[in-house]
Chain A
Amino acid sequence: MNPLIADLAFSRPGFDLRLAIRTPATGITALIGPSGGGKTTLLRLLAGLERPQAGHIRHGERIWFDSARRIDLAPGRRRLGFLFQQAALFPHLSVAGNIAYGLPSGADREREVARWLARLQLAGFAARRPDSLSGGQRQRVALARALAPRPSVLLLDEPFSAVDPDLRQSLRLAFLELMLEQPTPTLLVTHDLDDVRQLADWVGVVIDGGLRQFGPMAEVFARPVDAEVARILGWPNLLQVDHWEGDVAHGGWGWVRVAARPEGPRAEVIAIRPDGLRLGDALGLEIEITRVIALADDRTLLGRLPDHTAIQIRLDSRTPTPRPGSRTRLGIPHAAIIPLPGRATDAAATHCNPCSL
């Protein structure tokens, strides 16, 4: 297996993409970011469904696209599997016909189709037409169709978003099982953080046509590079900093001391993890509890700081549950704080474009 390396420039009216990426040779890489940021466009460029104005795409030793050398392999010659958001099954073909579509004709074809039908628990559906299948079954067929020709790279464009939430989990598990049996380097575009947490080994954050951050999943979630990335990755507490006094950040919400103020003038936001915060700390921030969300052993508080900034706190098992409407103070340990560039609420953050990996 080989890494997929791309450095691309692509423009259409109102949108520019300038992006360099090197995906790992194995595992699943999730691409996440706001709508219209370029995630799907990147997949389509890699697949050869759209043509970049400049740049190159290389998979191992094979050059898929090189504008300087006028190389542009047709999608079918790139040996990739592409799974669309809607399953996009051929309506005039049976389930078996759909799975067989990308397979070479020959004696093994039927055997291979039967194997895929069994693998995805579709054995009784071989002769059925796509319009008689449920959303989950359709997506399983589409997955089998994409994987059956044994692609060298798999590209998934929000593959589970059109499926009912209760079916998503079983589809994710089915996909992970397939990846264990037939490991294929995969690029997964998604808006669903559960997809990222449960499936991805690596994460790339695509914003405004550029790759803002890329790295191992746990590292990216733990260390977002700016406030916008933190917001996309689901960090709930982003506090705008008005000014710094040494390692103390001040804002309308109060002040906190950070372990070390980052160098440079761009640390305008502090991101606070919801775990490990201390209620009742006499030196902490003033907070009014607005709501208590108690689900089994998990208790989450929603609160409001003096400037009405919302804050989320996950309680540990020893802390008593405060009443909604009560006021207390919130101690924030250094380890729970990350100073970040960008703005706490505005989506139009500054960014590097393209990012070097």
Chain B
Amino acid sequence: MTPWLDCSPAALLLSLHVAGVVLVLFLVAGIALGYALSRPIPLRGLLDALVSVPLVFPPIAIGFFLLMLFGRHGAIGGPLHDWLGWELVFSFPALVLAAFIAGLPLVVKPIQSAIEGSARELIEVSYTLGKGRLATLFLVVIPVIRRHIAAGLILGVGRSFGEVGITLMLGGNILGSTETLSLAIYNQVLDGDFECATRLSLLLGLVSLTLFFWLGRLGRGR
């Protein structure tokens, strides 16, 4: 019987590393986008649609479009490669980008709806009491919707942790380099190692259940 830690330990560490980085990105971008989308800003509809795309669009197709965009000859990847000598695809930043795009709507939407709902009047009160947008964000919005922020982060990280489609396309599924936990399960099945695939699936399920349990506790604490 294969010891537990022999089943792609690097994949687990890589997934945790990606999750840690996207957690920080979600915290900043999720709150900023949720706050921005709750207000009548120019091109709000377009921004909202872009953020929401991963909820309805097939991940593998999103991954393909991103590969075309960020590849060595893509509209963004080309200049990055030619001017900075930097290649995004098949690298750690590509995994982070894939996880970030996949989980972002699940972070932004709860924050946006909380601001549009319970926090809207409080924001206006804060404005009339002399506070600007930034002060209101830190003194009112974040404290009032902190449970929604936490819930969004848990959902987003959970989604990122199990991401396959975009990661496969953008990260390349390179063993020991861009093989995340979810891709490791896929690879173990392809190799016929069902024992390891089962263990990794249980591990991934355990992480998901932990996040789900945590989310439930947050909801009850409301």
Contacts and interface: CB of A to CB of B under 8 A. Distances in A.
Do A and B associate with each other? yes
Interface of A: 47-49, 74-77, 79-82, 84, 86, 88, 90-92, 101-102, 145-146, 149
Interface string B120-138: 0110111111111000000
Given A88-B121, A91-B144, A92-B143, A101 B128 contact: no
8 contacts: A75-B124, A76-B130, A79-B130, A88-B125, A90-B125, A101-B129, A101-B139, A102-B130
A149 B122 contact: no
A207 B128 CA distance: 26
A101 B121 contact: no
The secondary structure that dominates the B interface is helix
A349 to B, nearest CB: 33
A75 B121 contact: no
Given A88-B121, A91-B144, A149 B127 contact: no
A74 B132 contact: yes
Given A74-B132, A76-B132, A92 B124 contact: no
Interface of B: 121-122, 124-132, 139-140, 143-144
Given A90-B140, A92-B144, A80 B128 contact: yes
A101 B127 contact: no
Contacts of A82: 124-125, 128
Contacts of B128: 47, 49, 75-76, 80-82, 146
A79 B130 CA distance: 7
Contacts of A81: 128
B146 to A, nearest CB: 8
B128 to A, nearest CB: 4
A84 B132 contact: no
Contacts of B125: 82, 84, 88, 90
Q: Which residue of B121, B124, B130 has the most chain A CB atoms within 10 A of its CB atom?
A: B130
Contacts of B131: 76, 101-102
B132 A49 contact: no
Given A88-B121, A88-B122, A76 B143 contact: no
B148 to A, nearest CB: 13
A86 B121 contact: yes
Leading 9 A-B pairs by shortest Cβ distance: A102-B129, A76-B130, A82-B128, A75-B127, A92-B143, A88-B121, A75-B128, A88-B125, A49-B124
Nearest to B142: A92
Contacts of A75: 124, 127-128
Contacts of A79: 130
B145 to A, nearest CB: 10
A74 B123 CA distance: 13
A59 to B, nearest CB: 14
B127 A76 contact: yes
Contacts of A74: 127, 132
A156 B175 CA distance: 65
A250 B139 CA distance: 65
Given A49-B124, A84-B121, A84-B125, A90 B130 contact: no
A49 B144 CA distance: 20
B109 to A, nearest CB: 22
A163 B208 CA distance: 46
Contacts of A90: 122, 125-126, 140, 143-144
Nearest to A93: B143
Nearest to B118: A91
Contacts of B122: 88, 90
Contact of A101 (B124, B126, B143, B144): B126
Nearest to B129: A102
A241 to B, nearest CB: 46
Contacts of A102: 129-131
A82 B130 CA distance: 11
A49 B130 contact: no
Contacts of B126: 90, 101
Given A75-B124, A77-B130, 13 more contacts: A47-B128, A74-B132, A75-B128, A76-B128, A76-B129, A76-B131, A82-B125, A84-B121, A86-B121, A91-B144, A101-B139, A102-B131, A146-B129
